[in-house]
Structure 1
Amino acid sequence: METIEIFGYLGALMVGLVLGLMGSGGSLIAIPIFTYLFHISPITTTAYSLFVVGTSSTIGAFRNWEKGLVDFRIAIVFAIPAFIAVYVVRKYILPIIPIEIITIEDFMVTKDMAIMVFLALTMLLCSLSMLRKRKALSDHSQINRYNYPLILLQGILIGLFTGVVGIGGGFLIIPTLVLLVKLPMKKAVATSLFIIALKSLIGFMGDVGNLEINWDFLIGFTVVSTLGIFLGIYLSSFIKGEKLKTYFGWLLLVLSVGIIYKEVFT
Structure 2
Amino acid sequence: AYVAGMDAKAAIATSLLVVGVTSAIGAISHARAGRVQWRTGLIFGAAGMAGAYAGGLLARYIPGTILLIGFAVMMIATAIAMLRGRKTIETGETGHRLPVPKIIAEGLVVGLVTGLVGAGGGFLVVPALALLGGLPMPIAVGTSLIVIAMKSFAGLAGYLSSVHINWTLALAVTAAAVIGALIGARLTAMINPDSLRKTFGWFVLVMSSVILAQEIHPAVGI
- CA RMSD in angstroms, aligned pairs only: 2.4
CA shift, 1:190, in A, is 1.1
CA contact (8 A) 1:145 1:180 kept: no
179 and 260 in structure 1: CA distance in 2 versus 1, 3 angstrom threshold: closer
Identity, % of aligned positions: 34
In the alignment, which residue of structure 2 is the partner of 1:40?
6
CA shift, 1:199, in A, is 0.7
CA contact (8 A) 1:169 1:196 kept: yes
1:158-177 maps to which residues of 2 (within 5 A)? 158-177=110-129
185 and 261 in structure 1: CA distance in 2 versus 1, 3 angstrom threshold: closer
- Note the alpha carbon deviations across 1:173-205, whole angstroms, 9 max, x for none: 334434555544332221111111111112112
Q: Hey, what's the Cα distance between the residues in 2 that align with 1:256 and 1:59?
A: 26
**Higher normalized helix content (fraction of residues):** 2
CA shift, 1:69, in A, is 2.9
Unaligned runs of 5+ in 1: 1-34, 98-110
- How many residues were matched structurally? 218
Q: Hey, what's the Cα distance between the residues in 1 that align with 2:7 and 2:180?
A: 24
1:9-158 maps to which residues of 2 (within 5 A)? 35-90=1-56, 92-97=57-62, 111-132=63-84, 135=87, 137-141=89-93, 144-158=96-110
Unaligned runs of 5+ in 2: none
Q: Hey, what's the Cα distance between the residues in 2 that align with 1:212 and 1:231?
A: 31
Amino acid at match of 2:175: V
139 and 169 in structure 1: CA distance in 2 versus 1, 3 angstrom threshold: farther
CA shift, 1:223, in A, is 0.2
Alignment pair present for 1:194 and 2:160 = no
In the alignment, which residue of structure 2 is the partner of 1:210?
162
CA contact (8 A) 2:90 2:193 kept: no
CA contact (8 A) 1:143 1:182 kept: no
In the alignment, which residue of structure 2 is the partner of 1:221?
173
In the alignment, which residue of structure 2 is the partner of 1:257?
209
In the alignment, which residue of structure 2 is the partner of 1:239?
191
Q: Hey, what's the Cα distance between the residues in 2 that align with 1:50 and 1:155?
A: 16
In the alignment, which residue of structure 2 is the partner of 1:24?
none
TM-score scaled by structure 1?
Answer: 0.73
Greater C-alpha Rg:
1
190 and 143 in structure 1: CA distance in 2 versus 1, 3 angstrom threshold: closer
256 and 67 in structure 1: CA distance in 2 versus 1, 3 angstrom threshold: closer
Q: Hey, what's the Cα distance between the residues in 2 that align with 1:125 and 1:181?
A: 17
CA contact (8 A) 1:50 1:201 kept: yes
